[in-house]
Protein backbone atom coordinates (compact mmCIF):
# COMPACT_ATOMS: atom_id res chain seq x y z
CA UNK A 1 0.00 0.00 0.00
CA UNK A 2 1.35 3.43 -0.96
CA UNK A 3 -0.03 6.47 0.84
CA UNK A 4 0.42 10.15 0.03
CA UNK A 5 0.19 13.00 2.53
CA UNK A 6 -0.36 16.70 1.88
CA UNK A 7 -0.69 19.80 4.05
CA UNK A 8 -2.81 22.65 2.64
CA UNK A 9 -3.90 26.17 3.61
CA UNK A 10 -2.37 28.30 6.37
CA UNK A 11 0.26 26.45 8.40
CA UNK A 12 -0.02 26.02 12.17
CA UNK A 13 1.58 24.21 15.08
CA UNK A 14 1.22 20.42 14.94
CA UNK A 15 1.46 19.72 11.19
CA UNK A 16 4.79 17.93 11.50
CA UNK A 17 3.52 15.92 14.47
CA UNK A 18 0.65 14.60 12.31
CA UNK A 19 3.04 13.71 9.49
CA UNK A 20 5.37 11.86 11.87
CA UNK A 21 2.53 9.97 13.43
CA UNK A 22 1.05 8.81 10.10
CA UNK A 23 4.40 7.75 8.64
CA UNK A 24 5.64 6.16 11.87
CA UNK A 25 2.64 3.95 12.45
CA UNK A 26 2.11 3.31 8.75
CA UNK A 27 5.62 1.96 8.27
CA UNK A 28 6.16 0.23 11.62
CA UNK A 29 2.79 -1.45 11.96
CA UNK A 30 1.47 -1.75 8.41
CA UNK A 31 4.62 -1.74 6.28
CA UNK A 32 3.20 0.96 3.98
CA UNK A 33 5.19 3.24 1.69
CA UNK A 34 4.78 7.02 1.92
CA UNK A 35 5.21 10.08 -0.24
CA UNK A 36 4.47 13.69 0.61
CA UNK A 37 3.02 16.07 -2.00
CA UNK A 38 4.80 19.41 -1.76
CA UNK A 39 2.88 22.62 -1.14
CA UNK A 40 -0.58 21.17 -0.69
CA UNK A 41 -2.81 20.51 -3.68
CA UNK A 42 -0.20 22.20 -5.93
CA UNK A 43 2.13 19.21 -5.50
CA UNK A 44 -0.70 16.76 -6.09
CA UNK A 45 -1.74 18.55 -9.32
CA UNK A 46 1.82 18.86 -10.62
CA UNK A 47 3.12 15.54 -9.32
CA UNK A 48 5.72 17.22 -7.16
CA UNK A 49 6.44 14.86 -4.29
CA UNK A 50 9.12 13.42 -2.03
CA UNK A 51 9.53 10.08 -0.35
CA UNK A 52 8.85 9.94 3.40
CA UNK A 53 10.78 7.44 5.52
CA UNK A 54 11.03 6.91 9.27
CA UNK A 55 14.31 8.83 9.23
CA UNK A 56 12.71 11.79 7.49
CA UNK A 57 10.15 12.18 10.27
CA UNK A 58 11.97 10.88 13.31
CA UNK A 59 12.76 14.28 14.86
CA UNK A 60 9.99 16.51 13.53
CA UNK A 61 7.23 16.15 16.14
CA UNK A 62 7.99 19.38 18.06
CA UNK A 63 8.77 21.51 14.98
CA UNK A 64 6.49 24.31 13.80
CA UNK A 65 5.36 24.76 10.18
CA UNK A 66 5.18 21.84 7.77
CA UNK A 67 8.08 19.89 6.28
CA UNK A 68 5.95 19.42 3.13
CA UNK A 69 5.22 23.10 2.52
CA UNK A 70 1.76 24.49 1.98
CA UNK A 71 -0.23 26.62 -0.46
CA UNK A 72 -3.76 27.85 -1.07
CA UNK A 73 -3.98 26.06 -4.44
CA UNK A 74 -7.49 24.79 -5.13
CA UNK A 75 -7.72 21.81 -7.52
CA UNK A 76 -11.26 22.92 -8.44
CA UNK A 77 -10.52 26.58 -9.21
CA UNK A 78 -10.40 27.94 -12.76
CA UNK A 79 -7.12 26.98 -14.40
CA UNK A 80 -6.75 23.77 -12.38
CA UNK A 81 -8.10 20.34 -13.19
CA UNK A 82 -8.92 17.83 -10.40
CA UNK A 83 -8.24 15.03 -12.90
CA UNK A 84 -4.56 15.95 -12.57
CA UNK A 85 -4.64 14.81 -8.92
CA UNK A 86 -6.11 11.48 -10.03
CA UNK A 87 -3.50 11.24 -12.80
CA UNK A 88 -0.65 11.83 -10.32
CA UNK A 89 -2.01 9.14 -8.02
CA UNK A 90 -2.26 6.69 -10.88
CA UNK A 91 1.21 7.47 -12.23
CA UNK A 92 2.79 7.00 -8.79
CA UNK A 93 0.64 3.96 -7.84
CA UNK A 94 -0.69 5.79 -4.79
CA UNK A 95 -3.60 3.96 -3.17
CA UNK A 96 -4.76 6.57 -0.67
CA UNK A 97 -4.26 10.21 0.23
CA UNK A 98 -4.34 11.83 3.66
CA UNK A 99 -5.15 15.54 3.40
CA UNK A 100 -4.29 17.66 6.43
CA UNK A 101 -6.06 20.98 6.31
CA UNK A 102 -8.90 23.30 7.17
CA UNK A 103 -12.25 23.80 5.48
CA UNK A 104 -10.76 24.72 2.07
CA UNK A 105 -8.28 21.82 1.84
CA UNK A 106 -10.78 19.33 3.26
CA UNK A 107 -13.60 20.74 1.09
CA UNK A 108 -11.49 19.90 -1.97
CA UNK A 109 -10.66 16.51 -0.41
CA UNK A 110 -14.35 15.76 -0.02
CA UNK A 111 -15.05 16.64 -3.66
CA UNK A 112 -12.22 14.35 -4.77
CA UNK A 113 -13.57 11.58 -2.56
CA UNK A 114 -16.93 11.97 -4.32
CA UNK A 115 -15.07 11.51 -7.61
CA UNK A 116 -13.69 8.18 -6.32
CA UNK A 117 -10.33 9.11 -4.75
CA UNK A 118 -9.46 7.25 -1.51
CA UNK A 119 -9.13 10.16 0.90
CA UNK A 120 -8.94 10.68 4.66
CA UNK A 121 -8.91 14.13 6.31
CA UNK A 122 -7.18 15.54 9.40
CA UNK A 123 -8.62 18.77 10.88
CA UNK A 124 -6.04 21.54 11.04
CA UNK A 125 -6.49 25.26 11.60
CA UNK A 126 -5.67 27.93 14.13
CA UNK A 127 -9.21 29.23 13.47
CA UNK A 128 -10.88 26.16 15.07
CA UNK A 129 -13.79 26.66 12.66
CA UNK A 130 -14.29 23.09 11.38
CA UNK A 131 -17.54 21.35 12.24
CA UNK A 132 -17.78 17.81 13.72
CA UNK A 133 -14.70 18.16 15.90
CA UNK A 134 -14.43 19.80 19.31
CA UNK A 135 -11.02 21.13 18.36
CA UNK A 136 -8.71 21.45 15.41
CA UNK A 137 -4.99 21.14 16.07
CA UNK A 138 -3.10 24.44 15.82
CA UNK A 139 -5.84 26.33 17.63
CA UNK A 140 -4.41 26.02 21.14
CA UNK A 141 -0.91 26.91 19.94
CA UNK A 142 -2.25 30.12 18.39
CA UNK A 143 -4.28 30.87 21.52
CA UNK A 144 -1.18 30.40 23.68
CA UNK A 145 0.91 32.68 21.45
CA UNK A 146 -1.78 35.39 21.49
CA UNK A 147 -2.21 35.04 25.26
CA UNK A 148 1.55 35.54 25.73
CA UNK A 149 1.31 38.70 23.61
CA UNK A 150 -1.58 40.00 25.71
CA UNK A 151 0.36 39.42 28.94
CA UNK A 152 3.17 41.53 27.50
CA UNK A 153 0.85 44.18 26.12
CA UNK A 154 -0.82 44.58 29.49
CA UNK A 155 2.41 45.67 31.19
CA UNK A 156 3.25 48.23 28.53
CA UNK A 157 -0.36 49.50 28.42
CA UNK A 158 -0.23 49.94 32.20
CA UNK A 159 3.10 51.80 32.11
CA UNK A 160 1.86 54.22 29.45
CA UNK A 161 -1.76 54.55 30.62
CA UNK A 162 -2.98 53.45 27.20
CA UNK A 163 -5.62 51.35 25.55
CA UNK A 164 -4.15 48.65 23.31
CA UNK A 165 -6.31 47.10 20.60
CA UNK A 166 -5.09 43.65 19.52
CA UNK A 167 -6.48 42.24 16.26
CA UNK A 168 -6.12 38.51 15.73
CA UNK A 169 -6.63 36.09 12.80
CA UNK A 170 -9.63 33.77 12.80
CA UNK A 171 -11.42 34.52 9.56
CA UNK A 172 -15.23 34.30 9.93
CA UNK A 173 -15.24 32.92 13.47
CA UNK A 174 -14.10 34.37 16.78
CA UNK A 175 -12.61 31.31 18.50
CA UNK A 176 -9.03 32.56 18.68
CA UNK A 177 -10.07 36.07 19.76
CA UNK A 178 -12.41 34.70 22.42
CA UNK A 179 -10.02 32.16 23.93
CA UNK A 180 -6.95 34.44 23.83
CA UNK A 181 -8.93 37.45 25.00
CA UNK A 182 -10.46 35.52 27.87
CA UNK A 183 -7.16 33.90 28.90
CA UNK A 184 -5.36 37.24 28.52
CA UNK A 185 -7.96 38.98 30.69
CA UNK A 186 -8.98 41.50 28.01
CA UNK A 187 -11.46 44.21 28.97
CA UNK A 188 -13.55 43.80 25.81
CA UNK A 189 -13.52 41.10 23.10
CA UNK A 190 -15.14 41.53 19.70
CA UNK A 191 -16.02 38.49 17.58
CA UNK A 192 -17.96 38.06 14.32
CA UNK A 193 -20.68 36.11 16.16
CA UNK A 194 -21.87 39.09 18.23
CA UNK A 195 -21.92 42.66 17.02
CA UNK A 196 -21.18 45.57 19.34
CA UNK A 197 -21.45 49.26 18.58
CA UNK A 198 -18.41 51.46 19.13
CA UNK A 199 -20.47 53.10 21.85
CA UNK A 200 -20.78 49.68 23.60
CA UNK A 201 -17.00 49.21 23.42
CA UNK A 202 -16.37 52.73 24.74
CA UNK A 203 -18.91 52.22 27.55
CA UNK A 204 -16.97 49.12 28.75
CA UNK A 205 -13.70 51.03 28.67
CA UNK A 206 -15.21 54.06 30.41
CA UNK A 207 -16.53 51.82 33.17
CA UNK A 208 -13.02 50.48 33.65
CA UNK A 209 -11.61 54.02 33.74
CA UNK A 210 -14.15 54.92 36.42
CA UNK A 211 -12.77 52.06 38.50
CA UNK A 212 -9.50 53.98 38.52
CA UNK A 213 -7.83 51.85 35.83
CA UNK A 214 -6.14 54.05 33.25
CA UNK A 215 -5.11 51.28 30.85
CA UNK A 216 -7.08 48.64 28.99
CA UNK A 217 -6.83 45.80 26.47
CA UNK A 218 -9.32 45.22 23.64
CA UNK A 219 -9.12 42.01 21.58
CA UNK A 220 -10.82 41.98 18.21
CA UNK A 221 -11.18 39.12 15.74
CA UNK A 222 -10.18 40.12 12.20
CA UNK A 223 -13.70 39.19 11.04
CA UNK A 224 -15.58 41.15 13.72
CA UNK A 225 -17.72 44.11 12.72
CA UNK A 226 -19.36 46.89 14.71
CA UNK A 227 -22.92 48.05 14.09
CA UNK A 228 -21.45 51.08 12.29
CA UNK A 229 -19.77 48.86 9.65
CA UNK A 230 -21.48 47.39 6.57
CA UNK A 231 -19.16 44.42 6.23
CA UNK A 232 -15.96 42.77 7.48
CA UNK A 233 -12.87 44.85 6.76
CA UNK A 234 -10.36 43.57 4.23
CA UNK A 235 -6.78 44.60 3.42
CA UNK A 236 -7.67 44.68 -0.30
CA UNK A 237 -10.19 43.20 -2.73
CA UNK A 238 -8.03 40.39 -4.06
CA UNK A 239 -9.28 36.87 -3.36
CA UNK A 240 -7.36 33.60 -3.07
CA UNK A 241 -8.22 30.44 -5.07
CA UNK A 242 -10.93 29.56 -2.56
CA UNK A 243 -12.56 33.00 -2.87
CA UNK A 244 -11.37 34.51 0.44
CA UNK A 245 -10.24 38.11 0.81
CA UNK A 246 -7.45 38.88 3.27
CA UNK A 247 -9.31 40.27 6.26
CA UNK A 248 -7.82 42.97 8.50
CA UNK A 249 -8.08 46.57 9.60
CA UNK A 250 -10.97 46.50 12.06
CA UNK A 251 -8.56 46.91 14.99
CA UNK A 252 -7.09 50.09 13.56
CA UNK A 253 -10.55 51.51 12.94
CA UNK A 254 -11.56 50.70 16.53
CA UNK A 255 -8.37 52.18 17.98
CA UNK A 256 -8.93 55.47 16.13
CA UNK A 257 -12.54 55.64 17.32
CA UNK A 258 -11.65 54.82 20.95
CA UNK A 259 -8.89 57.43 21.06
CA UNK A 260 -11.12 60.12 19.62
CA UNK A 261 -14.28 59.37 21.56
CA UNK A 262 -12.64 58.76 24.96
CA UNK A 263 -9.65 61.08 24.60
CA UNK A 264 -7.51 58.11 25.73
CA UNK A 265 -4.24 57.32 24.01
CA UNK A 266 -4.71 54.10 22.05
CA UNK A 267 -2.35 51.81 20.13
CA UNK A 268 -3.19 49.13 17.61
CA UNK A 269 -1.36 45.78 17.24
CA UNK A 270 -1.87 43.36 14.36
CA UNK A 271 0.32 40.29 15.02
CA UNK A 272 -1.08 38.29 12.05
CA UNK A 273 1.23 35.33 11.21
CA UNK A 274 3.28 35.72 14.40
CA UNK A 275 0.35 34.07 16.21
CA UNK A 276 0.15 31.22 13.71
CA UNK A 277 3.85 30.42 13.36
CA UNK A 278 6.24 28.81 15.83
CA UNK A 279 6.34 25.57 17.75
CA UNK A 280 3.14 23.81 18.86
CA UNK A 281 2.09 23.63 22.50
CA UNK A 282 2.35 20.27 24.29
CA UNK A 283 -1.44 19.90 23.95
CA UNK A 284 -1.32 20.36 20.18
CA UNK A 285 1.63 17.99 19.78
CA UNK A 286 -0.35 15.19 21.37
CA UNK A 287 -3.65 16.03 19.69
CA UNK A 288 -1.89 16.11 16.29
CA UNK A 289 -0.18 12.82 17.00
CA UNK A 290 -3.46 11.20 17.96
CA UNK A 291 -5.12 12.55 14.79
CA UNK A 292 -2.30 11.07 12.69
CA UNK A 293 -2.66 7.62 14.30
CA UNK A 294 -6.42 7.67 13.66
CA UNK A 295 -5.97 8.80 10.04
CA UNK A 296 -3.59 5.96 9.13
CA UNK A 297 -5.97 3.50 10.79
CA UNK A 298 -8.75 4.84 8.54
CA UNK A 299 -6.56 4.03 5.54
CA UNK A 300 -5.86 0.55 6.94
CA UNK A 301 -9.61 -0.01 7.44
CA UNK A 302 -10.43 1.46 4.01
CA UNK A 303 -12.59 3.99 5.82
CA UNK A 304 -12.41 6.71 3.16
CA UNK A 305 -14.30 10.02 2.96
CA UNK A 306 -13.75 10.34 6.71
CA UNK A 307 -12.01 12.73 9.08
CA UNK A 308 -10.41 12.12 12.48
CA UNK A 309 -12.18 14.27 15.09
CA UNK A 310 -11.99 15.07 18.79
CA UNK A 311 -15.19 14.42 20.76
CA UNK A 312 -14.68 15.15 24.43
CA UNK A 313 -11.39 13.39 25.22
CA UNK A 314 -11.76 10.73 22.52
CA UNK A 315 -10.73 10.60 18.88
CA UNK A 316 -13.64 9.57 16.68
CA UNK A 317 -14.13 9.16 12.96
CA UNK A 318 -16.68 11.42 11.23
CA UNK A 319 -17.84 12.03 7.66
CA UNK A 320 -15.70 14.51 5.79
CA UNK A 321 -18.82 15.83 4.05
CA UNK A 322 -20.39 16.84 7.38
CA UNK A 323 -17.17 18.45 8.64
CA UNK A 324 -16.95 20.82 5.68
CA UNK A 325 -20.67 21.52 5.30
CA UNK A 326 -20.61 24.58 7.56
CA UNK A 327 -18.37 26.91 9.56
CA UNK A 328 -18.17 26.18 13.29
CA UNK A 329 -18.78 29.49 15.01
CA UNK A 330 -18.57 30.47 18.68
CA UNK A 331 -21.86 29.65 20.50
CA UNK A 332 -23.40 32.84 21.87
CA UNK A 333 -23.82 31.21 25.32
CA UNK A 334 -20.06 30.68 25.53
CA UNK A 335 -19.33 34.25 24.47
CA UNK A 336 -21.75 35.52 27.09
CA UNK A 337 -19.73 33.77 29.79
CA UNK A 338 -16.65 35.79 28.79
CA UNK A 339 -18.79 38.94 28.45
CA UNK A 340 -19.40 38.93 32.22
CA UNK A 341 -15.81 40.15 32.64
CA UNK A 342 -16.06 43.10 30.23
CA UNK A 343 -15.91 46.66 31.58
> Which residues contribute to the site for ligand F6P (CB under 6 A)?
9-10, 72, 102, 125-127, 169-171, 222, 246-247, 276
Q: Does residue 73 contact residue 80 with C-beta atoms inside 8 Å?
A: yes
Query: For residues 64 and 203, which CB has a smaller minimum distance to ligand F6P in the complex?
Result: 64
Shortest spacing between CB 64 and ligand F6P, in angstroms: 14
Among candidate residues 178, 187, 241, 257, the one with its CA nearest the CA of residue 217: 187
The gap between the terminal CA atoms of the chain, to the nearest Å, is: 59
Query: For residues 72 and 208, which CB has a smaller minimum distance to ligand F6P in the complex?
Result: 72
Active site residue 127: yes
Cα–Cα distances (Å) from 148 to 84, 277, 332, in that order, read 43, 14, 25
Query: For residues 169 and 264, which CB has a smaller minimum distance to ligand F6P in the complex?
Result: 169
Can you name the residues that pair with 150 across neighbouring β-strands?
none
Shortest spacing between CB 291 and ligand F6P, in angstroms: 17
For ligand F6P, which residue has the nearest CB? 169
Q: Does residue 105 contact residue 324 with C-beta atoms inside 8 Å?
A: no
Q: What is the CA radius of gyration of the chain?
A: 21
Q: Does residue 119 contact residue 305 with C-beta atoms inside 8 Å?
A: yes
Query: For residues 88 and 105, which CB has a smaller minimum distance to ligand F6P in the complex?
Result: 105
Q: Catalytic: which of 11, 104, 127, 187? A: 127
Shortest spacing between CB 222 and ligand F6P, in angstroms: 6
Shortest spacing between CB 125 and ligand F6P, in angstroms: 5
Q: Does residue 48 contact residue 35 with C-beta atoms inside 8 Å?
A: no
Shortest spacing between CB 141 and ligand F6P, in angstroms: 12
Alpha helices in 31-102 (DSSP H): 41-46, 54-57, 83-91
Among candidate residues 323, 281, 12, the one with its CA nearest the CA of residue 169: 12
Query: For residues 128 and 226, which CB has a smaller minimum distance to ligand F6P in the complex?
Result: 128
Q: In what helix (H) or strand (E) does residue 6 lie, and over which residues does it extend?
A: strand 2-7
Residues designated as active site: 127
Amino acid sequence: MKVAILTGGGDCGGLNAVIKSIVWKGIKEYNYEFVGFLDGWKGALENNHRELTINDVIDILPEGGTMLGSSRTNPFSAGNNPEDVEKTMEEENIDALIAIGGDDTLGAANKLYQRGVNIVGVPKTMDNDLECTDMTFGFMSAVQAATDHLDRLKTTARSHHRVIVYEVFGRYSGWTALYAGWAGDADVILVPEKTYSIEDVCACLEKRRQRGKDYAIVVVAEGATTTEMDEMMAEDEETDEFGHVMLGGVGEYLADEIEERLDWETRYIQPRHIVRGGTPTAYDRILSSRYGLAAIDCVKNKDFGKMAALKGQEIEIVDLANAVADTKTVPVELFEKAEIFFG
